[in-house]
Structure 1
Amino acid sequence: MPSHPVPPSPSPGANGHRAALRSIARVVEDAAPLQDPTIAREGILDLLRRHRPMVLTGAGVSTDSGIPDYRGPSGSLRRDRPMTYQEFRYDAGARHRYWARSFVGWRQMNRAEPNPAHLLLARWQREGILAGVVTQNVDGLHAAACTDGLVALHGDLDRVICLHCGAMEDRRSFDARLEAANPGYLEAVTVDPRLVNPDGDVTLDQHWVDRFQLVGCLVCGSMELKPDVVYFGENVPAERKAAAQEIFARAGSVLAIGTSLAVMSGFTFALNAVKTGKPVATINDGPTRADTRADFRWRTRVVPALQWLQTQLSAESADTG
């Protein structure tokens, strides 16, 4: 019987990496005609009045805080591809490169403050207008705006987890240790703050990556440290999925704000809303993956849209008062 050569084993996570690259490369294009803005905004206003929406937010909510989005006209994907989970997990060089870039870029993220969109959504949540807020962002700005019951579906850059022993460390503590290990580094590197990516890193020349010194886990010493965020190619933790599903279950509708819904973890809520007969609406500066399914599609900037909605809600409250 002739023998057949044994094919080489695929690298760890190869299939997940390829799937992640497909997700990153997904282009969300216009698939439905633009809706009359008057119809769209009045419909969304009605959802806020009568259908207690689950709000799902994306990077477009934070652009007015100085953090770029992924797929917008000036989005970070136009200049830089995010690292996949498989690259980060199995390539020590890629992990080192991420932390060098993040050591510089995180400062821009850490200085960002909630903008009127974050503050209005937190207010609507306190007033019982919303069933809850689920964000795909990792910038911590919804939490900084004191949003009750927030579900950060993809995690938060403010925490660092050890992939070896599972220990957690506050990002500020970790950053202080990095500063001590890299004296003079930040003063020597000059970057354009507009080029910081939504996941907190920034492009650096290889010279600066090579010069950077990483520090290890406080508990076990491992260098396998990761921001506590969900990378492309990584699964959302089960407890966060469950918490988001609880919000969806008590919501009367789904309102996606500042997101193209290109990633399945967010898009699935729009799909489930359609299946269960809940209205779907979007507020975004560009097309979304849900446009062919949404009842109301308001193509506009996020902050002015939410401010208009608040003006209408306030006027109604004054009339009934």
Structure 2
Amino acid sequence: MNNKETLIKVENLKKYFPMNKSNILTHTQNVKAVDGISFDILKGETFGLVGESGSGKSTTGHLILRLLNPTDGKVYVEDKDIYQHSDRKFRKMRKDLQIIFQDASWALDPKMIIEDILTEPLRIHKIVPRFETEKEVKRLLDIVGLSKNDAKKFPHEFSGGQRQRIGIAKAISTRPKFILCDEPVSALDVSIQSKILNLLTDLQREYDLTYLFIAHGLNVVKHVSDRVGVMYLGKIMEIGNVNTIYNDPKHPYTKALISAFPDPNPEVKNERIVLKGEIPSPINPPKGCLFHTRCPYKMDICDKVIPQLTDINEGHKSACFLNEEVMAKIE
């Protein structure tokens, strides 16, 4: 039984992007980027969110940070519904909710030196007195493994891995409670990825941070996450403890994602599950189970009824008719 408190609570969250304006002759089509998902993120844990491109992972993260407004649903931060706050009131919460981008260049103004980039959030949120900002910038750079002399440089003078370290320094500068890690290592060389992941893990332990870690592949998420949610076409297909998901996956989509990455032990030979076809359009998703058009185990019921995310055992849920628990729910 997990006794950790809930920091983030997501309830029936939806985000539809309209494709065209309605008129008498035209019906509005919506891209269902996120389509009714619910999950919790506990204080101090890393919750991994995985899936192919277009599954809705990043949109979910941006909704949690209120970078986007939802079509429907709620997001609670420490039991406070963030969408019920005015922009002015939510601005006070902003320092507690930060983001690390896939490409740190998006968060670093190329015309500013690093000292000014890191000083800006310190002043906006009044983290330290003005006379201590220079000292705090040096401290932040030291925490992420950079030199105090780097404070006078511009972003283009750094490598990709170093820029990501600066992006991390900026994210932790406001002393947040929660950080969205939006594919923070996917743009880096493999040799650099492990160093950045180790840095994130060390910072989490030292500052009691909570992460939502978004990635395409389960191989990266496996090493940093406590729990994992698997997304497909805007819905969560499976959710559970990271070891349970890897050792006993219940959904065919999860099994396919895991099989895509070879085991580091050369003696272990996993059979690759190759999914046929492309991920369907979120504008016109399939009826029934969203995955049935690519599923190697498709049954007659799959294209008629939508499987619900159902408890398999404590904390482990799956939305698939192959599971007896899901079938029992509709019988």
Confirm or deny a common fold (TM above 0.5).
no
TM-score tier after normalising by the smaller chain length: under 0.3
Structure having greater relative contact order (Cα 8 Å, sep ≥ 6): 1
The structure that is strand-richer by fraction is 2
TM (norm. structure 1) is 0.27
TM (norm. structure 2) is 0.26
